[in-house]
Amino acid sequence: MFVMLGDPEYKITRKKIIFVISALSLFFLGYLLAPPTMTDGNYEGTVTFIYQDTSTQIDFVFQLNSSIFVPEKPLMISNSSNNYQIIINSFESYSSQVGNKITFSVTINDTQNITEDLKLNNFVASISKGNFKENFSPKEVINQVFLFEFQIIKYSNIALGLLLMVSFLWMTEIIPLSASALLVPVAIVIFNIDTATGSLSLFFSPIIILFFAGFLMAEAMKRVKLDTFLSVTILSLVPANTKLIIFSMMALSAIFSMFMSNTAAVAIFIPLSLSLMEYLDEEYLNFRKMMILGIAYSATIGGIGSLIGTPPNYIAVDLLQKSQGITITFIEWFLFGLPVLLLLIPVTFFYLWIRLKPTISDEAMKTAKLKSINRKKDLHTLNRDQIVVLFIFILVFCLWLMEQFHGIHAGIIAVIGVILLFFSGYLMQEDLTRINWNALLTFGGGLTLGAIILKTGLADWLALQLGFLKDIHPLFILLFLGFLSLILTGIASNTASASILVPIVIPLGITLGMDPVLTALVVAIISSVDFAIIIGTPPTMVAYSTGYFQVKEIFKLGIVLDLIGLIIVTLLGWVFYQNVLFLVK
């Protein structure tokens, strides 16, 4: 099909021109508002020790030098006061190459054993040169050694301009999300922040490969109708009780969404529910609404449950590994995602039941169920093709669960499954054209944007600007961060929302004395809690497209559920997650 230049969809309209000008204006605004680049030369460092009503300050000098690549010449400075000695272990010179950090440690030798009572907030450090000055706290304390780390700020003006511009383009969708995402590596190369190879590497990272392979495995399931067989079989086993039928369909939608795209999950279960409802009278409208909306919302929730369920999960995991060296495996994610899923699904069910009040007799439900199942008699027996695909999927899933034992990345495991499916003939070349390339490219752009925000020091700088939050209780800080994520995901995709916020809340957690794993995972999970806006997630859009809902009706139902999800995720993060974080250290 040829594209006609006169087609209104492809015209350069006044609206597009205004939006492009707005996007460029935001880029220059970010360029102007960003912190200045740290230039080579001598910097003054200061460490202030605050204990009870006294404070002791130690000054030292170090150099930034772009011609070196690793810190040079160890430097030790000490100061004695009030029966204790403060010792700073630093370097005389640090590399100012983009992505490098200034690191030093502080120890105390004392005769009063005060070190046993010291916390991170007993120390404050600062770095200054001319008009440049930043204060920061220790990153962590290990065996009473306080470790300081400061990301060198370089090209942060480009990073902030890019963040504002791409965020605007993602929110307005004046061009496809993937096209906006591709602007990120283009800008990185043009402004000489990184090479073409480095800027494009995350578009083919193991994370992207994991989702790419996951999409293909879902195509294989659809090819042999394994997904429909499983759903029909389970439906036939569920008693003909209204509540059980709805809850079972919601649970199945969530489970399928854990291992395939949420769009694919609703593509299975909404048509199945519609075939079931063909045999119901029109008077059961609220039952139809609850069934459809419950399936859609459950598919969205299901993505939270597993590491491959939705891109924000892996964005958080990837950035935690890159910035903090913290690795979260496939099975470890369940410690974070499953509790949310297991609580949100029943809460969503009871919320929709109370709001919609569906009325239908068990007898009517039994009749409709039997007619729907009999219509799919050909799917009641597991055939040879379905057995092979199911075996391969189970093999891949088991290898995912054992990742911490064999050490093979989940993406490579998924590729092994895809190769087996191609080799056995259950995937074809044309299946490569059916996967969601727009989502993969957007995901890659999000990962690249997050990495550059961290690498240029912009994330650390933004976190320091939010340092005023340190006087607020950590629970309310989590609520605040979750609320920001909730607002952003309401006007942008969950991938875009996580790409913008996760790189910022990781250093913010360190600045505020909170665990960065906690802040990153809460923000990532809440970015997937979007039930109010019909274009917010594909499942909600599919539910709306059935014709049973008005936009304002979904908004009224979803906005309350958004807030419920915010509270649940935050409380779980505070009460439960902090008790299992040691498992991923």
pLDDT tens digits for 329-366?
878 888 888 888 999 999 999 999 999 888 776 677 77
DSSP 376: T
What whole-number distance in Å separates Cα of residue 217 and Cα of residue 282? Answer: 38
Tokens of 192: 């000489």
In-domain check, residue 6 = no
What's the whole-number average pLDDT of the chain?
81
- 495 in Cβ contact with 315 (< 8 Å): yes
Residue 125 lies inside a defined structural domain of this protein: yes
Whether residues 131 and 237 fall in one domain: no
Residue 401 lies in a domain: no
Q: What is the mean pLDDT of residues 61-74?
A: 90
Q: What is the mean pLDDT of residues 490-514?
A: 78
Using an 8 Å Cβ cutoff, are 333 and 524 in contact? no
How many structural domains comprise the chain?
2
Q: Report whether pLDDT(11) > 80.
A: no
Can you spell out the DSSP letters for 238-294?
Answer: S-S-HHHHHHHHHHHHHHHHHHS-HHHHHHHHHHHHHHHHTTS-TT-HHHHHHHHHH
From 103, 124, 152, the end of a domain falls on 152
pLDDT at position 3 is 42
The predicted structure's pLDDT at residue 582: 44
Residue type, 59: D
Does residue 132 surpass a pLDDT of 80?
yes
Instruction: State the SS3 of 3-43.
Output: CCCCCHHHCCCHHHHHHHHHHHHHHHHHHHHCCCCCCCEEE
- Verify that 473 and 342 share a domain, yes or no: yes
Q: Average pLDDT of 568-585?
A: 68
Share of the chain above pLDDT 90, in %: 18
- 309 and 457 both lie in a single domain: yes
pLDDT band (50, 70, 90) for residue 1: very low
**Predicted pLDDT of residue 6:** 46
Residues 470 and 368 in one domain: yes
Pair (362, 262) in one structural domain: yes
Supply the pLDDT for residue 5.
44
Within a domain: 208: no
Average pLDDT over residues 415-441: 87
Same domain? 148 vs 261 = no
pLDDT at position 81 is 65
Q: Mark whether 370 and 511 lie in a shared domain.
A: yes
Residues 356 and 488 in one domain: yes
Residue 420, in any domain of the structure: no
Asked whether the predicted pLDDT for residue 382 surpasses 70, the reply is yes
**Of residues 365 and 174, more confidently modeled:** 174
Does one domain contain both 240 and 353? yes
Tell me, yes or no, whether 441 lies in a domain.
Answer: yes
SS3 402: coil
| Domain presence at residue 464 | yes
Question: Does one domain contain both 376 and 510?
Answer: yes
Residues 421-427, mean pLDDT to the nearest whole number? 91
User: Do residues 119 and 234 both lie within one domain?
Assistant: no
Q: What residues does 59 pair with on adjacent strands?
A: 46
Q: Which of 120, 152, 184 is the last residue of a domain?
A: 152
Say whether pTM exceeds 0.75: no
Contact between 451 and 202 (Cβ < 8 Å): yes
122 and 263 belong to one structural domain: no
Q: Whole domain around residue 321: which residue ranges? A: 225-382+436-584
- Whole-number percent of the chain with pLDDT over 70: 86
Predicted local distance difference test score (pLDDT) of residue 410: 74
Establish if 194 belongs to a structural domain.
Answer: no
Which of 56-65, 114-123, 330-339, 539-548 ranks highest by mean pLDDT?
56-65
Residue where a domain terminates, one of 108, 137, 152: 152
